[in-house]
Chain A
């Protein structure tokens, strides 16, 4: 390839693509051609960069200048100023809310600074559709090493020594799982990659598949060598079309290079892979359901033991590992178990990817060493809560996890401490909530989700989640009764005790943790019919303060329910019987008036219709005083 002076690493992860990355690419190509720069500059489409809140985005190599929130109309200026004339464009750089000056370099942006990339080692650096890019970054060197210089037992020993634990949620030691499977006498054996990522707000696995599919193929091939498998499946949900497309392409390229298929690299070892698409049932992420789904059966879990490592797909020993787990394996082989085991905490080694979403300034995908505190994630990487609101809680582990309150902000993130706090690592979703979030409502949201997704096999999960939902709905509707909290707790424990699979045994976690840490919010709903965060519609009212209303008519005009009475010079009044509590009036009332208030747990003060507006008197400036004098 000809020598160039600039490479534009354009993020084409799902988020940026939705934001118009391919349209940006087209304009970039046109502008680069218009200036005749094609031979000097190339565009490299990459997987997810991670800083999704800034997308569509690109990084200019070799300087690593970061540009975000790109619009097609910015491109002609950017190409002319920076790529032709060499003057980086400040207005397209990232400026944190608290600063005035932008930060030009990716490596100086706090969001990236605290991260440690092992699984995402190639993100934003390689084109995921080019196998040579992966190979250039030590790709398939680990496979080379195990096939030429390690026995399967040595590979398993190395993974056990590294302390790697499953990244899909439960945290089972990966090497032990491999060993159990290897020791099973029955053949053939299988290895499955679990990419049935279903937690709301979580997209770690999708991003790995989209940005570095070969790392998963390499990890899975090493796993196959270790356990003695010759066939594998990658189970991806069908809602991830881009991930599936890139993975399919990667598999074909690997086959073409002889890195999958018969007699890999001439070593005599054979292994091949195929993709199976799941249709988005949450329960399919549970390993026995996943197996049933691939077998063409109804995706219901079954009792364990026997574990899939003993009796798995088609009745044969099967290792099922998560995407992230498999993508970590090549790095452990290349750099050694000792190096890996020095990262993280006593019981949780290495790094973990989290998707940081919700009420947070820097939304995105991050990879951090285990043991990092919530405070570092939320305030340093995440840049804090928007609008200087107060941090209230974070939901980790999706619907199976729990809410961790602000008081535990210095909690180090590892498998054990999260479990102790009543939550779990889960697959790594992290939903940040601020003071405007109602914790009862959050619990209701997650129970609604798990109730929908329960496969129905166990009564406790199927009917128990419905009963939880019924009570939670009653409480948020303002019809909670004494004893509801105790009932929720008792039922939650019963569901945990008597359900079979991970879905049922963890679904009560959001209820239990919100009661544990925010019991007073439940009590306020039940006893005072008050929603402290002012979220639950039945417990709030909108009211216009007659002292502050300036009769500007904006809210009256915007109210979709026509519930506002008022005229020019006459104080506006909301008709509570017509109000649908959509909140439009609060949003549109000019901040300098701030007349619309949200009330909860108190009677709506009566306001007489037809009251004249009390005009705010303008304070005279000294100059006016002088001129009038």
Chain B
């Protein structure tokens, strides 16, 4: 590798920052894919993969994709909850990779929830 100039070092820093964002970043949004046995059987793994693909394409480093257990509505799996900063969480049901791509573009990048795929707005009350 050729030796770095000052500018190249700065560029390299910007690039390197992106690769460690999971450890060191601040996040504006989070996707939680429900991965109970029911979710996995209904295809939740493909849903995670599609969210990650879309995230990769977008180049965004302020969105997290995570998983959690069964959401309790097994007949509507695969499900995912999208939580964006400053707006209530939205639960999406009966997901397919196509639906995920639209949710990613419209809700996560565009800030407008895709009402027709949503179960409802908000989360259960913690009791």
Asked if B124 is an interface residue, CB under 8 A from chain A, the answer is: no
A contact face: mostly helix, strand, loop, or mixed: loop
- Chain A residue numbers with a CB within 8 Å of B55 are 3
Asked if B95 is an interface residue, CB under 8 A from chain A, the answer is: no
A56 vs B65: C-alpha distance in the bound complex, in angstroms?
27
Count how many chain A residues have C-beta atoms less than 8 Å from C-beta atoms of the other chain: 41
* Chain A 449-467 interface residues, beta-carbon cutoff 8 Å to B: none
A133 touches B20 (CB 8 A): yes
Asked if A614 is an interface residue, CB under 8 A from chain B, the answer is: no
CB closest residue in chain A, given B2:
A258
A266 touches B6 (CB 8 A): yes
- Chain B residue numbers with a CB within 8 Å of A39 are 49, 52
Asked if B85 is an interface residue, CB under 8 A from chain A, the answer is: no
Asked if B125 is an interface residue, CB under 8 A from chain A, the answer is: no
- Chain A residue numbers with a CB within 8 Å of B48 are 5, 40
B23 touches A5 (CB 8 A): no
Distance in angstroms from B47 CB to nearest chain A CB is: 12
A-B contact count (CB 8 A): 109
Distance in angstroms from B49 CB to nearest chain A CB is: 8
A470 vs B16: C-alpha distance in the bound complex, in angstroms?
59
* Chain A 98-138 interface residues, beta-carbon cutoff 8 Å to B: 125-126, 132-133, 135-138
Stretch at the interface among B66-74, B105-113, B114-122: B66-74
B36 touches A7 (CB 8 A): no
Asked if A535 is an interface residue, CB under 8 A from chain B, the answer is: no
* Chain A 42-71 interface residues, beta-carbon cutoff 8 Å to B: 44, 61-63
Asked if B19 is an interface residue, CB under 8 A from chain A, the answer is: yes
- Chain B residue numbers with a CB within 8 Å of A136 are 13, 16-17, 19-20, 24
Distance in angstroms from B52 CB to nearest chain A CB is: 5
B22 touches A6 (CB 8 A): yes
CB closest residue in chain B, given A86:
B67
Distance in angstroms from A218 CB to nearest chain B CB is: 12
A3 vs B24: C-alpha distance in the bound complex, in angstroms?
14
Chain A 1-17 against B: per-residue CB contact (8 Å), 1 yes, 0 no?
Answer: 11111110100000000
Distance in angstroms from A235 CB to nearest chain B CB is: 27
B23 touches A9 (CB 8 A): yes
Asked if B12 is an interface residue, CB under 8 A from chain A, the answer is: yes
Stretch at the interface among A140-148, A279-287, A377-385: A140-148
- Chain A residue numbers with a CB within 8 Å of B88 are none
From B12, B36, B45, give the contact of A135 (CB < 8 A): B12
CB closest residue in chain A, given B13:
A135
CB closest residue in chain B, given A140:
B9
Asked if A256 is an interface residue, CB under 8 A from chain B, the answer is: yes
From A40, A86, A144, A258, give the contact of B69 (CB < 8 A): A86
B9 touches A265 (CB 8 A): yes
Asked if A84 is an interface residue, CB under 8 A from chain B, the answer is: yes
A574 vs B4: C-alpha distance in the bound complex, in angstroms?
75
CB closest residue in chain B, given A253:
B1
Which of A40, A138, A263 has the most chain B CB atoms inside 10 A of its CB?
A40
* Chain B 1-56 interface residues, beta-carbon cutoff 8 Å to A: 1-6, 9-10, 12-13, 15-17, 19-20, 22-25, 27, 32-37, 40, 45, 48-49, 52-53, 55-56
B69 touches A61 (CB 8 A): no
- Chain A residue numbers with a CB within 8 Å of B10 are 144
- Chain A residue numbers with a CB within 8 Å of B1 are 256-257
A5 touches B4 (CB 8 A): no
A132 vs B66: C-alpha distance in the bound complex, in angstroms?
25
The 8 closest A-B pairs by CB, nearest first: A258-B3, A86-B67, A136-B16, A86-B68, A3-B56, A132-B16, A3-B55, A5-B65
In the assembled complex, 9 residue pairs joining A and B whose CB atoms fall closer than 8 Å, in A order, are: A5-B48, A6-B22, A9-B23, A62-B64, A85-B69, A86-B32, A125-B24, A132-B16, A133-B20
Q: A5-B22, A136-B24, A148-B6 are in contact. List 11 more A-B contacts (CB 8 A).
A: A3-B65, A4-B22, A5-B67, A61-B23, A62-B27, A86-B68, A132-B16, A135-B12, A256-B1, A257-B9, A258-B4
